[in-house]
Amino acid sequence: MRVFLKSWYDRQSLALKLSVSILVCVFTVFAALVVFLFDATEHIVGSKTEEIGQKSVETYVNDMTHLAVDTQQLVLNTKNMLNQLSESDVSSLQLVLNSAIKTIYHSALTFTDAWVYIFPPEDVSHGTLYRSENIDGKISFKSENITNLYDLFPWFKQVPKEEKIYWSEPYLDKLTSKTVVTCLVPFMFQGKTDFDGLVALTVDLTNMTRSINNFSFAETGKLLLISREGLYVAHPDPNIALKMSIFELSKKMELPQLAEAGYQVLSGKTGTTNIPYSSVFDTSVIFFYAPVFPLNWGLFLVYSEDALLKPIRHMQYLMILPLLVGMLILFFIIYKMCHHSTKQLLTLSHIASMYGQGDFSLNFDEVISSDEIGVLAKTMTNMRQNLLNYVEKEKKEASEKQRIESEMNIAASIQNAAMHKTFPNHPSFKVFASMKPARQVGGDFYDLFFLGEDKVSLVVADVSGKGIPAALFMMRGQALIKNVAKSGLGISEVFHVVNKELLKGNETCMFISAFLAVIDIKTGVMQYVNAGHTPLLVDNKEGYQYVKTQRNIVLGVQKDAVFKAESMRLKEGAKIFLYTDGVTEAENNNHQFYGQDRLLDVLKKPYDTPQETLKAVTDDIQNFADGNEQSDDITMMEFVYLTSSFDEIKVQSDMNNLSKVLNFIEDNMQKYHVANETVFKMVTAAEEIYANIASYAYEKKEEMEIVVKTHFDGTYYHIKFIDFGKEYNPLTRTDPDISAPLEERSIGGLGIFLVKKFASDVTYTRQNNQNVLKISIKV
Amino acid sequence: MSEEKKLTIELSKTNDVLLCKLSGWLDPNTSPELLEKIDLDGVKTLIVDMQGVEYVFSAGLRAFMQLQRALDAKGGTLSLIHVADTVRSIFEYTGFESMLEPKA
């Protein structure tokens, strides 16, 4: 039950909880007050009523005591008068009795008759009875001889024979049918020593019993009167009055308390007996009793407390109704008040949850009370403003961050574009390079460019620092090196000039370590200069090893620095590996460097292509780093020198050597996979070109030379015919008229015509007293 | 990274001579700290004790170069002492050996 109540309570709204709580408190206080008040009222009323009841009983007791005492007094007076008579004198007796019966002291003191019974000394049962009767106010006197007194007054048997007042039990007078009681006393005439008779007064109890029966107290309260023997003298029930004793009734009703009360009062005690609920009375009753001493009777007041308090209880019930109505009204008022407040709380909660979802359209303006809820609303209004400001700020920062991010991406792609992604498919070399920046943009770079037809330049460099500043400096350095190198300076001078340029306005002291190599692919001779860069790795058909290079200072630091160049000859199949310190300084979690030895070890394994070599090194570094973040840009380049793709033949300009030259051209073209059809056309053209030179170029044919140089650059096959004779441009010759009849056409000129048709480019130059005819064919 | 390599810098100044004791790594993260800590105001001679330095990255070289420039401008000198062989080789590769004292 408690659990159920608690769970119910938890589920209710604050307004209901508050209302119920207050109501319960108020109700408890009121209920306690009501109970206390009613209890006190009952107590006061109860005791007051009891007091009144007891007072009434007292009055009745007093009245009866008076009656008894007065009656006794009268009887004694009569006896004294008779004592003074010497012998029975009827007239005197009548006088005495009449006067006695006439005496009315009190309304209750009504004597029905007064008599004197004179009996002989030896026998009481028969004698003479003189009697005055009061029948409805008329008094008569008569005398009769009694043969048996006990027939007339059965109770006489109990009268003791002594000079003492005796009260009979109440009895029904046969003559008048009234409830009476007789008070008597023996007497003796003057001069006698034994009793001569009895004098008696019979008291009418009718008035008294009627008064008692009519008595009503607190609705059900009644008076009961019992005689000395416990006989009911007065009882509301006529079947009980004078017919039953209290003891008999107690037995009949099985109420021993009743008998006990009877004993108590007859032994002269005053008291109260409470009888709890009994079916006899259909309620709980209280008996208050008091003795009537002269008669040794007892008077009871019987009343029911419930009945006594009935009007009060009724009033109490009447009071409960308005109390409940008041409570109900109170509940509604409290509930409305609380509900009004909590409704505002609900509104606040609703708006706050909308804020939580990012909707700031609603404000707290409608909550304007100045109580705690108003304070909360004000706080939340401030919070809304702060949140809006914060969101605005966040938006700005996010867009700024996004802008920087996108700019960084653009920068990265610009930088990326500055470095080759595809490498020339050259017959003389294979090359591959990669740059993996630590951040979005890097400070490393590599470059590869041709200087003329037969020289290729390789650059690998590293700008101090990382990120945007390094990237900017790198772009500058890369462009400088390339442009200066292409101007035709020697490599020492290239770095000298670049160094000077970089020093201009280099406030931030940035510098570049760089390695520049220029390889003559015709001869395999490599010239290189190392400006503070990592060592060179070369595999000149003996396996990779580090080559000690001339040390020079980095670029961008020292004015007038001198950069010493060196050179070596690469054998066919030789490899060189260039890298930045991002390779050797790659770190693992134990702060160990990847190092030169590991690099050398991995390079010593055989790979088919530079791509594979670089991939192997990259993988090895990654394995070594074991998840450790890359801290520096990693750049590598491998160059493999295959073979010289420059061939030439030098012969005396003699027609005897024609076949030698033509064989050379045919073989050489086939070496570079030129199509057979093209080879045939070329050989045809060459025959004519050779014949022209041999016939016309020289005065002294036997001394002069013809040089044929070929070169395949991967795309075009170039062939040059060089002679040192007089100036002659075969291309100026008019094309033969191929539409003319055969007999009219000149023999020469067809070869050149053919060349013009199939070659991609044909040029003639005259330089250094040489005729140079260059033919380029796309392969 | 499991644990950052730290650079510790101890400075002691006597008249116009500033002795700077370094230990740890001079990398892109720690080098700017070196420049911040060293105040060349009133310093003619800067002696950098490299005994505890395990490695110098290019950022470290740049920091030394900037110090060298600042000292050159007011006729001061920079000397690096107790340079370990591994570190010396870095200076040599990059052509910065003029900054070092002659090898003992």
Question: How close is the nearest chain B Cα to the Cα of A720, in Å?
Answer: 45
pLDDT at A661 over 60: yes
Region of poorest pLDDT, from A141-155, A300-314, A655-669, A736-750: A736-750
End-to-end alpha carbon distance in chain A: 101
pLDDT at A458: 95
Residue A749: pLDDT band by 50, 70, 90 thresholds? low
- What are A347-356's pLDDT values in tens digits? 888 888 888 8
d(CA B54, CA B59): 14
- What are A371-396's pLDDT values in tens digits? 777 788 888 888 888 888 988 999 99
Measured CA distances, A562 to A252, A503, B101 (Å): 150, 14, 21
d(CA A579, CA A460): 7
Angle, CA of A708, A711 and A712, to the nearest 5°: 145
Residue A133: pLDDT band by 50, 70, 90 thresholds? confident
Instruction: Residue B5: list chain A partners with CB under 8 A.
Output: 591
Q: Closest residue of A to B58, CA-based?
A: A464
pLDDT at A745 over 50: no
Higher pLDDT, residue A702 or A711: A711
Instruction: Residue B57: list chain A partners with CB under 8 A.
Output: 585, 632
pLDDT at A624: 93
pLDDT at A565: 93
Query: In percent, how much of chain A has pLDDT > 90?
Result: 19
Rounded to the nearest angstrom, the gap between the alpha carbon of residue A367 and the centroid of all alpha carbons in its chain is 26
Domain assignment of residue B58, yes or no:
yes
Domain assignment of residue B25, yes or no:
yes
Check if the beta carbon of residue A698 is closer than 8 Å to that of residue A704: yes
pLDDT at A360 over 90: no
Number of C-beta neighbours around residue A432 at 10 A: 19
Measured CA distances, A691 to A610, A661, A666 (Å): 45, 11, 17
pLDDT at A741: 55
pLDDT at A448: 93
- What are A197-219's pLDDT values in tens digits? 888 888 888 888 888 888 887 67
The verdict on domain A53-306 having CATH code 3.90.650.10 is no
| Mean pLDDT value of segment A500-529 | 90
Check if the beta carbon of residue B48 is closer than 8 Å to that of residue B38: no
Return phi, psi of residue A359, to 5°. -100, 110
Q: Dihedral of the CA atoms A134, A138, A142, A146 (nearest 10)?
A: -30
d(CA A254, CA A231): 17
Sort strands A138-146 and A127-135 into parallel, antiparallel or unpaired: antiparallel
Residue A106: pLDDT band by 50, 70, 90 thresholds? very low
Token pair 């700031």: residue: A360
Instruction: Residue B72: list chain A partners with CB under 8 A.
Output: none
Domain assignment of residue B100, yes or no:
no
Higher pLDDT, residue A77 or A136: A77
> Six-digit token pair at A746?
């000149």
Region of poorest pLDDT, from A259-268, A372-381, A531-540: A372-381
Of the options 3.40.630.10, 3.60.40.10, 3.40.50.300, 3.90.600.10, the CATH number for the domain spanning A418-641: 3.60.40.10
Q: Closest residue of B to A562, CA-based?
A: B95
| Mean pLDDT value of segment A565-570 | 92
d(CA A481, CA A405): 30
Region of poorest pLDDT, from A240-244, A365-369, A632-636: A365-369
Q: Closest residue of A to B5, CA-based?
A: A591
Token pair 């010497």: residue: A86
Domain assignment of residue B95, yes or no:
no
Quick check: B36 contacting A, CB < 8 Å?
Answer: no
Check if the beta carbon of residue A97 is closer than 8 Å to that of residue A130: yes
Higher pLDDT, residue A465 or A210: A210
Q: What DSSP state is assigned to residue B98?
A: G
Spell out the SS3 assignment of A410-429. HHHHHHHHCCCCCCCCCCCE
Q: Closest residue of B to A443, CA-based?
A: B58
Check if the beta carbon of residue A509 is closer than 8 Å to that of residue B66: yes
d(CA B28, CA B35): 12
pLDDT at A131 over 80: yes
Number of helices and strands (H, E) in chain A?
17, 27
Domain assignment of residue B49, yes or no:
yes
Region of poorest pLDDT, from A340-354, A518-532, A553-567, A604-618: A340-354
pLDDT at A109 over 70: no
Q: Which residue stretches of chain B have pLDDT < 50?
A: 1-3, 103-104
Spell out the SS3 assignment of A498-565. HHHHHHCCCCCCCCEEEEEEEEECCCCEEEEEEECCCCEEEECCCCCEEECCCCECCECCCCCCCCCE
pLDDT at A242 over 80: yes
pLDDT at A643 over 90: no
> Six-digit token pair at A77?
């007076």
| Mean pLDDT value of segment A725-754 | 67
pLDDT at A735: 65
- What are A29-43's pLDDT values in tens digits? 888 888 888 888 888
Region of poorest pLDDT, from A58-67, A98-107, A390-399, A604-613: A98-107
Contact assignment for A465 to B27 by CB distance below 8 Å: no
Average confidence score pLDDT of chain A: 84
- What are A415-438's pLDDT values in tens digits? 888 888 888 888 889 999 999 888
Burial-class residue A356 by CB neighbours within 10 Å (0-12, 13-18, 19+): exposed
Contact assignment for B96 to A553 by CB distance below 8 Å: yes
Give the number of domains in chain B. 1
| Mean pLDDT value of segment A49-76 | 86
Question: In this complex, how many residue pairs, one in chain A and one in chain B, have their CB atoms less than 8 Å apart?
Answer: 63
Which range, A245-259, A344-358, A364-378, is most confident? A245-259
Closest CA to A463 of A510, A530, A411, A403: A510
Q: What CATH number is attached to the domain comprising B29? A: 3.30.750.24
Using CB atoms, pick whichever of A551, A554, A628 lies closest to residue B1. Answer: A628
> Six-digit token pair at B90?
């870095």
Question: How close is the nearest chain A Cα to the Cα of B90, in Å?
Answer: 9
For every residue of A424-468, DSSP letters joined together read: ---SSEEEEEEEE-SSSS-SEEEEEEESSSSEEEEEEEEESS-HH
Question: How close is the nearest chain A Cα to the Cα of B104, in Å?
Answer: 20
Domain that holds residue B39: 7-84
3-class SS at A658?
helix
The verdict on domain A646-778 having CATH code 3.30.565.10 is yes
Domain assignment of residue B93, yes or no:
no
Higher pLDDT, residue A715 or B36: B36
Q: Residues in chain A whose beta carbon is closer than 8 A to a beta carbon of chain B? A: 462, 464-466, 509-511, 513, 531-535, 551-554, 557-558, 561, 581, 585, 587, 589-591, 628-629, 631-632
| Mean pLDDT value of segment A621-626 | 91
Domain ranges of chain A: 53-306, 418-641, 646-778
